[in-house]
Chain A
Amino acid sequence: MTDLPHSPEQPVVAAKVSRWKMFLASDIFWSYRRSPVTILASIIALILVLMAVFAPLLAPYDPFNPATLNLMDGMTAPNTESYTGKYFAFGSDNQGRDVLSSIMYGSRVSLFVGFAATMFAMVMGVGLGLVAGYFGGLWDAFIMRVADVQLSFPAILIALLIFGVARGVIPANQQEGAAIWVLIFAIGLANWAQFARTVRGATMVERQKDYVAAARILGVNPFLILLRHVLPNVLGPVLVIGTIGLALAIIEEATLSYLGVGVPPTQPSLGTLIRIGQQFLFSGEWWILLFPAITLILLALSVNLLGDWLRDALNPKLR
């Protein structure tokens, strides 16, 4: 073992490849291209999100401006001309509001609450999961038992409970404005345990690895180790539950709004629209319920399918 050259066994070619080319050549993009269901789901999700984000520009009417509403336009069937000669593609509700525009503004609320609640759950769950998994012992026991207790209740019940308590605490004149934030808080708090469990498991695997040992030998602050070493390596599964959790949060928001404890009726979400619609279902005005419901289903389903695909694409065993 003496006469070997000191050169590395293979010269590393410093090829300049653009990030975009790298993405196009990646396994994730490969599995995306080969799954027609995923492509369809992502297109639907993208359309719905764009529609919600640009609702003020795209919507044919402003359903929240009472000045433009005319009660005589109420209950117009889809694709017919109303009393005042307006055209409603998806019909109008009892107050003469365009159902299509309501859906666009409604998805905006639904998506905002869904995103914000999921972010809240994610930050809280990931943080607590990291601490539980890395430090173990009493921290772990305490955090995970709280999570266990919480997981033994239906998430919607917890959200209702939190919502009820908040109602009692917040003064009546501020309730209207605070409602949406309370909703986000309630749904987020109901969903953190999933994140915490997954991250705790992944953290326990990562903390055994030598790169963490190398940082510990140097005396790097444990919280810095968590943040800079462990966190980037446990984010894969978080992304997956985050996506599936987003679909769940949207449905939970819709459920709460349907029950009438969600966002105020002046700012209707998809769930509120469905609640309004079901009052007219048996009197023949089916469109007021059907179109918001289809939108909700499409939204939740496409996000869920994206989450499913992401889980498979990030799992090398299923490739």
Chain B
Amino acid sequence: MTEPVLSVKNLIVDFPFHNTNFRAVNDISFDIMPGEVVGVVGESGAGKSMTGSAVIGLIERPGRITSGEILLKGQRIDNLPEADRAKLRGKRIGMVFQDPLTSLNPLYTIGRQLIETIRTHLPLSEEQARQRAIDLLTEAGIPKAADRIDAYPHQFSGGMRQRVVIALAIAAGPELIIADEPTSALDVSVQAQIIKVLKELCSNHGAAVMLITHDMGVIAQTADRMVVMHQGKIVETGTVGDIIRRPREPYTVKLINSIPTIASDRSGAPASAPANDDGAFVQIKGLVRDFELGGGSFTKVFKSKTEIFRAVSDVSFSIQKGKTYGLVGESGSGKSTCAKMIVGLIRPTEGKILVDGHDVWAGGAGERERRKRVQMIFQDPYASLNPRWRVADIIAEPMRTLGIATNKGEVEGRVADLLNKVRLDPSVMRKFPHEFSGGQRQRIAIARALSSQPEFIVCDEPTSALDVSVQAQVLDLMRALQDEFGLTYLLISHNLAVVRQMSSAVGVLHNGVLVESGPTDDIFDNPQADYTRMLLDAVPDISKVA
């Protein structure tokens, strides 16, 4: 039997806080064999990133390793002096972090950074190191690497930067690479390429990988074995196929079941909804939004006219009453701009938005109709609730503003009612938002949206800030409320699986253009546009497990 590259034994990491102690990692043990990709998966707060930090010796104070051993090729590394540990980083353990923008120094060219790393760890001349850097970049999929090596990080896109980071991580030929959420900041289509590069490069160079992520889809497509963590402990370890198909522990079962998939397993919501219907409840007709670029004073001096960026270009679709329309797109596709125009935050350059026959941008009358009928649920439940307001006031604001209920007793009764509807205890209404978890906050945000008794709710990435198990609960709640009140949803998401589960019709937005629109099953099972096909191929999904 070969010796494992990394061996973690009974590791405990503690964070003393004031007079209490928080145990971030609680007695975990696992091995990584040479050339193996091991996925560490868990929801936020599971201790997965902390495990990675412990291995590379970068736990931030006041946290510390209380007990346990970390062995690299049989040699203990957790008790080495800091100077020796620093030598390990980069040389024997490579690192890839979530945000490629912060892991590269913006003031040096990428070539400089690569050459420096290579020469620190390997006895090569400047010329040889440069050649090796170019080879690495080419290997990582940077076209014309010899020309681009002297470019600065900001001249690369997010995906390209992450390729550079990967090249940097393997530059010194490490035995182990720790990748902490390497693709979470990237769009789906880019994500797939990066996963491929990471996997290829590591197998070419014989490096083992510890892949830390919350995304079971990424693990399914990348890792050989996986470690499931929950509240600082290891719940289950096994091969990826075994765990995804036959999870044993209750927590893992629950986790796997709550992951939405793009495969068709739909229970309700039969497909209907013709593409464009004049009788539809919500009709979006030829929506256009332009932004002026470069409003700075110098561009005004040197250019006669400002450049126009068309964020949303002639988007039309319609939604039947009581149905959900899913709007899918990658970052910069204009989906949030669409949402803002529909709820009245930005004025469309051209086009009409009709809700129940009323043009919501037609002066004061349209505005009144819009306020009565349209509401919004936001992505980040930490920013969408005023931290200084009590829950009762947050939920009561829409009904007070619109004059639905004004006297104190009536408002309180309605707020309690709404809290019940979103499955929260009405006694929480005296609390402040920070006393709640992300999922609970999103429930409060939903209660606020329902407070004005709307008919149409725009949901902008309602679950993308939440853990998968919480996401499943919030989506279930949204569906139940739709049935109860006959709500119409516009669901905006980058997550194809969520859209597939929730919507009866789907639109795919790419660079401000609606490339495809139609019933959900048609689009997912038989996509017409190339872009849609590419997107569906790229998305990591547990149904695609090898």
| B419 nearest CB across to chain A (Å) | 10
Please indicate the chain A residues that have their CB under 8 angstroms from the CB of B480 in the complex.
Answer: 6
Please indicate the chain A residues that have their CB under 8 angstroms from the CB of B402 in the complex.
Answer: 218
Q: Which of B376, B380, B472, B473 contacts A217 (CB 8 A)?
A: B376
Pair B423/A12 contact, Cβ less than 8 Å: no
CA distance A4 to B257 in the complex (A): 9
CA distance A2 to B469 in the complex (A): 11
Known contacts A9-B470, A30-B18; is-contact A219 B371 (Cβ 8 Å): yes
Of all chain A residues, which has the CB nearest B261?
A: A1
Residue B247, interface by CB 8 Å: no
Q: Give the one of A1, A11, A12, A216 with max B CB within 10 A.
A: A1
| B464 nearest CB across to chain A (Å) | 13
Pair B476/A14 contact, Cβ less than 8 Å: no
Residue B448, interface by CB 8 Å: yes
CA distance A30 to B254 in the complex (A): 40
Pair A7/B423 contact, Cβ less than 8 Å: yes
Within 8 A of B (CB), among A125-139: none
Q: Which of A7, A12, A214 contacts B448 (CB 8 A)?
A: A214
CA distance A98 to B87 in the complex (A): 71
Q: Which of B259, B383, B384, B443 contacts A8 (CB 8 A)?
A: B443
Pair A4/B473 contact, Cβ less than 8 Å: yes
| A29 nearest CB across to chain B (Å) | 11
A contact face: mostly helix, strand, loop, or mixed: loop
CA distance A68 to B470 in the complex (A): 78
CA distance A10 to B259 in the complex (A): 20
| A280 nearest CB across to chain B (Å) | 54
Known contacts A9-B440, A210-B378, A219-B371; is-contact A1 B383 (Cβ 8 Å): no
Known contacts A211-B385, A219-B371, A219-B401; is-contact A12 B476 (Cβ 8 Å): no
Residue B105, interface by CB 8 Å: no
Residue B425, interface by CB 8 Å: yes
Residue A315, interface by CB 8 Å: no
Residue B435, interface by CB 8 Å: yes
Residue B343, interface by CB 8 Å: yes
Pair B378/A2 contact, Cβ less than 8 Å: no
Residue B128, interface by CB 8 Å: no
| B385 nearest CB across to chain A (Å) | 6
Binary contact track A195-222/B, C-beta < 8 Å → 1, others 0: 0000000000000011101111111100
Q: Which of B385, B388, B401, B437 contacts A10 (CB 8 A)?
A: B437
Pair A1/B472 contact, Cβ less than 8 Å: yes
Q: Which of B257, B384, B401, B423 contacts A3 (CB 8 A)?
A: B257
Pair A9/B437 contact, Cβ less than 8 Å: yes
Please indicate the chain B residues that have their CB under 8 angstroms from the CB of A232 in the complex.
Answer: 386, 388-389
Q: Which of B380, B397, B428 contacts A14 (CB 8 A)?
A: B428
Pair B427/A1 contact, Cβ less than 8 Å: no
CA distance A120 to B443 in the complex (A): 42
Please indicate the chain A residues that have their CB under 8 angstroms from the CB of B311 in the complex.
Answer: none
Please indicate the chain A residues that have their CB under 8 angstroms from the CB of B437 in the complex.
Answer: 9-10
| B230 nearest CB across to chain A (Å) | 13
Pair B472/A4 contact, Cβ less than 8 Å: yes
CA distance A217 to B384 in the complex (A): 12
Q: Which of A4, A209, A218, A233 contacts B469 (CB 8 A)?
A: A4
Please indicate the chain B residues that have their CB under 8 angstroms from the CB of A14 in the complex.
Answer: 425, 427-428, 431
Within 8 A of A (CB), among B330-345: 343-345
Within 8 A of B (CB), among A162-219: 209-211, 213-219
Known contacts A4-B472, A214-B448; is-contact A12 B367 (Cβ 8 Å): no
CA distance A229 to B385 in the complex (A): 10
CA distance A9 to B385 in the complex (A): 19
CA distance A220 to B345 in the complex (A): 12
Q: Which of B259, B431, B472 contacts A12 (CB 8 A)?
A: B431
| B416 nearest CB across to chain A (Å) | 13
Please indicate the chain B residues that have their CB under 8 angstroms from the CB of A11 in the complex.
Answer: 425
Within 8 A of A (CB), among B74-129: none
Pair A214/B475 contact, Cβ less than 8 Å: no
Pair B254/A4 contact, Cβ less than 8 Å: yes
Interface size class of B (residues with CB under 8 A): 35 or more
CA distance A7 to B472 in the complex (A): 12
Interface size class of A (residues with CB under 8 A): 20 to 34
Residue B189, interface by CB 8 Å: no
Known contacts A9-B470, A10-B440; is-contact A220 B423 (Cβ 8 Å): no
Pair B384/A1 contact, Cβ less than 8 Å: no
Within 8 A of B (CB), among A206-263: 209-211, 213-220, 229, 232-233
Please indicate the chain B residues that have their CB under 8 angstroms from the CB of A229 in the complex.
Answer: 386, 389
CA distance A57 to B122 in the complex (A): 80
Please indicate the chain B residues that have their CB under 8 angstroms from the CB of A233 in the complex.
Answer: 386-388
Binary contact track B395-407/A, C-beta < 8 Å → 1, others 0: 0011001100000
Please indicate the chain A residues that have their CB under 8 angstroms from the CB of B473 in the complex.
Answer: 4, 6, 8-9
Of all chain A residues, which has the CB nearest B443?
A: A8
CA distance A12 to B383 in the complex (A): 21
Known contacts A216-B345, A218-B398; is-contact A8 B423 (Cβ 8 Å): yes
Within 8 A of A (CB), among B465-493: 469-470, 472-473, 475-477, 480
Within 8 A of A (CB), among B244-271: 254, 257-260, 267
Pair A1/B501 contact, Cβ less than 8 Å: yes
Pair A6/B401 contact, Cβ less than 8 Å: no
Known contacts A1-B258, A217-B374, A217-B375; is-contact A6 B423 (Cβ 8 Å): yes
Please indicate the chain B residues that have their CB under 8 angstroms from the CB of A1 in the complex.
Answer: 257-260, 472, 475-476, 501
Within 8 A of A (CB), among B424-468: 424-425, 427-428, 431, 435-437, 439-440, 443, 448, 452
Pair B378/A214 contact, Cβ less than 8 Å: yes
CA distance A209 to B380 in the complex (A): 9
Of all chain A residues, which has the CB nearest B425?
A: A12
CA distance A220 to B378 in the complex (A): 18
Binary contact track A97-135/B, C-beta < 8 Å → 1, others 0: 000000000000000000000000000000000000000
Known contacts A4-B254, A11-B425; is-contact A215 B397 (Cβ 8 Å): yes
Please indicate the chain A residues that have their CB under 8 angstroms from the CB of B401 in the complex.
Answer: 218-220
CA distance A9 to B442 in the complex (A): 12
| A120 nearest CB across to chain B (Å) | 25
| A-B pairs, 8 with minimum CB distance | A210-B384, A232-B388, A210-B378, A1-B472, A14-B427, A211-B386, A209-B383, A210-B383
Residues of B within 8 A of A (CB): 18, 254, 257-260, 267, 343-345, 367, 371, 374-376, 378-380, 383-389, 397-398, 401-402, 423-425, 427-428, 431, 435-437, 439-440, 443, 448, 452, 469-470, 472-473, 475-477, 480, 501
Not counting A2-B257, A6-B423, a sample of 5 additional A-B residue pairs whose C-beta atoms are within 8 angstroms of each other reads: A1-B475, A8-B423, A216-B345, A220-B397, A229-B389
Enumerate 7 A-B pairs (CB-CB under 8 Å) in ascending A order. A4-B469, A4-B473, A9-B437, A214-B448, A217-B344, A220-B397, A232-B388
Residues of A within 8 A of B (CB): 1-4, 6-12, 14, 30, 209-211, 213-220, 229, 232-233
